[in-house]
Amino acid sequence: MSITRRAALAGLMALGLSTPAMAQAYPTKPITIIVSFAAGGPSDVIARLLGEQMSKTLGQPILIENVAGAGGTAGAKRLAAAEPDGHTLLIHHLALAAAPALYGNLGYNTKTDFAAIGLVNTGPMVIASKLALPPQDAKAFFPYIKQNAEKLTIAHAGVGSNSHLCAVLMSQQLGAKFTQVAYRGTGPAMNDLVGGQIDILCDQSTSAIPQIQGQKIRAYAVTSAERLDVLPETPTMTEAGAKLDMTIWHGLYAPKATPAAVLDKLNAALREALKQPAVQERFKAFGTSTFPEAQWTREAHAKLFAEEIEKWAQSLAAAGIKPQG
Ligand code: MLT
Q: Atom 5, ligand 1: which residue's CA is nearest?
A: 43
Instruction: Give me the pLDDT at residue 176, please.
Output: 83
CA of 131 from ligand 1 middle (Å) equals 21
Q: Atom 3, ligand 1: which residue's CA is nearest?
A: 185
CA of 241 from ligand 1 middle (Å) equals 26
Numbered ranges of CATH 3.40.190.150 in the chain:
3-123+248-318
CA of 37 from ligand 1 middle (Å) equals 6
CA of 41 from ligand 1 middle (Å) equals 6
CA of 261 from ligand 1 middle (Å) equals 31
Numbered ranges of CATH 3.40.190.10 in the chain:
124-222
Distances (CA, A) of 225 to 230, 244, 247: 15, 10, 9
Q: Given the CA of residue 156, which atom of ligand 1 is nearest to it?
A: 9
Instruction: Give me the pLDDT at residue 244, please.
Output: 87
Extract the residue ranges of the chain whose pLDDT is less than 50. Answer: 1-16
For 117-183, the DSSP string reads: EEEEEEEEEEEEEETTSS--SHHHHHHHHHHHGGG-EEEESSTTSHHHHHHHHHHHHHT--PEEEE-
* pLDDT tens for each residue of 219-231: 999 999 999 999 9
Instruction: Give me the pLDDT at residue 14, please.
Output: 44
Name every protein residue with a CB atom under 6 angstroms from any ligand 1 atom. Answer: 37-38, 41-44, 93, 95, 157, 161-163, 185-187
**Mean pLDDT, all residues of the chain:** 92
Instruction: Give me the pLDDT at residue 321, please.
Output: 85
Instruction: Give me the pLDDT at residue 46, please.
Output: 98
Instruction: Give me the pLDDT at residue 58, please.
Output: 98
Among 33, 50, 65, 93, residue to substitute to test ligand 1 (most atoms within 8 Å of Cβ) = 93
CATH class for the region spanning 124-222: alpha beta
Identity of residue 79: L
CA of 40 from ligand 1 middle (Å) equals 10
- Alpha carbons within 13 angstroms on the beta-carbon side of residue 112 total 5
For 237-263, the DSSP string reads: TTTTT-----EEEEEEEEETTS-HHHH
Domain 3-123+248-318, CATH:
3.40.190.150
Instruction: Give me the pLDDT at residue 173, please.
Output: 83
Whether the CA torsion 162, 163, 167, 173 is positive or negative: it is positive
For 259-325, the DSSP string reads: -HHHHHHHHHHHHHHHH-HHHHHHHHHTT-BPPPGGG-SHHHHHHHHHHHHHHHHHHHHHTT---B-
- In sequence order, what are the beta bridge partners of 119? 251
Contact 278, 257 (CB under 8 A): no
What's the 3-state SS for 44-112?
A: HHHHHHHHHHHHHHHCCCEEEEECCCHHHHHHHHHHHCCCCCCCEEEEEECHHHHHHHCECCCCCCCCC
Q: Given the CA of residue 68, which atom of ligand 1 is nearest to it?
A: 3
Of the chain, the percentage scoring pLDDT greater than 70 comes to 93
Contact 128, 218 (CB under 8 A): yes
Identity of residue 214: G
* pLDDT tens for each residue of 20-65: 666 789 999 999 999 999 999 999 999 999 999 999 999 999 999 9
